Amino acid sequence: MQIDTKLIMQLRSQTGAGMKVCQEALAEANGDLAKAVDVLRKKGAKIAGKRADKEAKEGIIFAYIHANNKIGVLLELNCETDFVAKTDGFKQLAHDLAMQIAAQSPLYIAAENVPEEVINKEKDIYKEQLLSEGKPEKMMDKIIEGKINKWLEDVCLLKQQFIKNEDITIEEYINEKIASMGEKIKVGSFCRKQI
């Protein structure tokens, strides 16, 4: 199937994936742009899974100062090779992640980074709220679990909705970049300061 170059460019600008990867995704999706985005996401998750055991020792420290000069972010973003770390695509990813951190104030990178005592404290708070609302005891565990999952989406960077595309999470966005760059990429650490 012959894919229109304009469509390839549109998918490329939307996802940041390489030309060949976009062309293959569009061919697989029979020229349907929305389906091609889904194809790229699935490939990204698959590639990310394959690269999970690789070491990401290279990368960059990226500094972002928000336009009002009252919010600053330092981000450590890791990849497998120095070659990828120097690419514009990797630097753009670092910029996007730093902007996300500045805008959404995550406290942790991922759910597994949240200390158990913090989660237990949140559970206790939710339980007190539910008791004061008179919710039935047998429903509490399910309700608390849902509230904890929602809270984790707010405080964990990888679970947050991407501010530039709310259809995907930060984790899915990183997986798209893993698919296009062909390397493991991970957030090493971050620090956010605000006046």
pLDDT tens digits along 124-182: 898 888 888 877 777 888 888 899 999 999 999 999 999 999 889 999 999 888 888 88
- Which of 2-11, 156-165, 178-187 has maximum average pLDDT? 156-165
Residue 139 in domain: yes
Residue 130 in domain: yes
Closest by CA to 19, choosing from 30, 10, 28, is 10
- Given a cut of 60, is residue 59 above it in pLDDT? yes
Strand partners, 162: 165
Residue 73 in domain: no
Provide the 3-class DSSP secondary structure of residue 46.
Answer: helix
Q: Are the CB atoms for 81 and 143 separated by under 8 Å?
A: no
| Domain containing residue 124: CATH number | 1.10.286
CA distance 185 to 36: 22
Q: Show the tokens assigned to 156.
A: 């964990």
CA distance 22 to 45: 16
- With the C-alpha atoms ordered 146, 150, 155, 158, is the resulting torsion angle positive or negative? positive
Residue 181 in domain: no
Which residue range forms the structural domain that includes residue 16? 5-51
The reported pTM is: 0.72
Q: Are the CB atoms for 53 and 185 separated by under 8 Å?
A: no
Q: What beta strand segments (E) does 66-185 contain?
A: 71-79, 161-162, 165-169
| Domain containing residue 26: CATH number | 1.10.8.10
Number of separate domains in the chain: 2
Residue 20 in domain: yes
Q: Are the CB atoms for 140 and 129 separated by under 8 Å?
A: no
Residue 137 in domain: yes
pLDDT band at 64 (very low <50, low <70, confident <90, very high): very high
The angle subtended at Cα 151 by Cα 148 and Cα 152, nearest 5°, is 85
Provide the 3-class DSSP secondary structure of residue 190.
Answer: strand
Residue 68 in domain: no
Residue 149 in domain: yes
